[in-house]
Each structure stands twice: as C-alpha cells, then as structure tokens.
Amino acid sequence: MEIILQPIETDLSNDILNLLYNSLLTEFHNVNVTIAPTLKVDIQNFINKQRNQLQSPILLHWILEKMKPTKEVKVLVICDMDAYSGELNFIFGEAHLRGRVAAIYLARLKPEFYDLEPNELVFYDRVTKEAIHELGHSFGLFHCNNKKCVMHFSNSLYDTDFKNKIFCKNCKNNL
C-alpha cells in the first residue's frame, strides 16, 4: 500500500509535509508514504463563487480522474483553502469510504482563521488528526463513538482538539 501526499495550488511548508509524512508512517503500518510535488491547478474551477469556498466533491473527482490511483494507492490532497461538501457549511476534510482519494483543507484548522494568534503547535496537531482521520475513511473505517479516537466525527474544532492523533484499539483492529 502507498499513500501519496499531494499538495495542490500553493506551496506548503516542508514542515507540514514532513510532519504528515512521519505521522502517517507511524500510524499506518506497512504503508509507503510519498510526498508529491505541488500540483498546479486552476483552482477557480472548483470554487463556488457565491460562497467563496472550494467544492470538495468536485475536486476529489477531478483528482481521481487526473491521477487514476490504483486500489493499492491512497492520495491525500492537502489544500490551503476553505471548503464545503453537500449540505455541510464547511469541512476540515473529506474522503470516500474505501476510496482512493481524500483531502484535508487547512484554512479552518488555523487559529488565525478565527482571529486568534497563530499557533503552529495547535495547527500542526489539527492537520495531523484530520489527515489520519480522512485516510482512515479511505481504508474503510467509519466514524467512531469513542470521543478520544481520531475517527470520532469533528463537528467543531473543539472535537478535533479533544481527540487523539491515533486510532482507538477497536479502529486499529478494524484497519
């Protein structure tokens, strides 16, 4: 199995990509992780102009068609934008259950989005949790009732901050 970290649109700091690389190697055993070069796209094709948000399902479909990952490959798109999906006003990330493509959206994971002081440690913690969570879905895991499990649904940043960066015992066994 392989996980490809695919930054799009803007160049992300190597700190974020290296953090994700190491975190994913730790949490997903027997998986190779690769950091792909930034994919330049016309992001305006994916923006709902009335909402000024990226439409996640359209981006995920486009990435799936463009990259055509096999069933042994999971692509995690990392996008520094605000996004939504369906009836949800915003999302931190999205994945198709047992799918080959997932995405995390960094905008709302940053304290400064909420007019708070930047905090790299908090931001990196949130990014790691969302990446592991979305990849968990792509590997077939559902949301977990254990509020400390990384697979617990995050309805708010409070939920994200409360949970751990790892799978609970039950989710780990199901992985």
Query: Does 174 map to a domain?
Result: no
pTM of structure: 0.95
What is the structure's pLDDT at 35? 96
What is the structure's pLDDT at 175? 87
The distance of Cα 111 from the centroid of its chain, to the nearest Å, equals: 17
Which of 9, 27, 130, 134 does the annotation list as catalytic? 134
Query: Does 147 map to a domain?
Result: no
| Helix intervals (H) in the chain | 14-27, 56-67, 120-138, 157-162, 169-174
Domain containing 57 equals: 2-142
Domain count along the chain: 1
Query: Does 80 map to a domain?
Result: yes
**CA-to-CA separations, 109 to 53, 69, 99, 125, 145, in angstroms, rounded:** 15, 27, 24, 9, 22
Query: Does 61 map to a domain?
Result: yes
Classify 119 as helix, strand or coil.
coil
Confirm if 109 and 118 have CB atoms less than 8 A apart: no
Query: Does 94 map to a domain?
Result: yes
Q: Is 87 a catalytic residue?
A: no
pLDDT by residue, tens only, the chain of 175 residues? 999 999 997 777 889 999 999 999 999 988 999 999 999 888 889 999 999 999 999 999 999 999 999 989 999 999 999 999 999 999 999 998 789 999 999 999 999 999 999 999 999 999 999 999 999 999 999 999 999 999 999 989 999 999 999 999 999 999 8
Dihedral of CA atoms 33, 39, 45, 51 in degrees, nearest 10, equals 60
Q: 11: buried, middle or exposed (CB in 10 Å: 19+, 13-18, 0-12)?
A: exposed
What backbone phi and psi angles, to 5 degrees, belong to 21? -55, -55
Nearest CA to 124 out of 94, 75, 160 is that of 160
Query: Does 157 map to a domain?
Result: no
Query: Within a 10 A sphere around the Cβ of 112, how many other Cβ atoms?
Result: 11
What is the structure's pLDDT at 100? 95
What is the structure's pLDDT at 134? 97
Query: Does 115 map to a domain?
Result: yes
Query: Within a 10 A sphere around the Cβ of 119, how many other Cβ atoms?
Result: 13
DSSP letter for 92, please: S
What is the structure's pLDDT at 71? 87
CA 71/CA 83 separation, integer angstroms:
26
Query: Does 172 map to a domain?
Result: no
Identify the CATH number of the domain in which residue 113 sits. 3.40.390.10
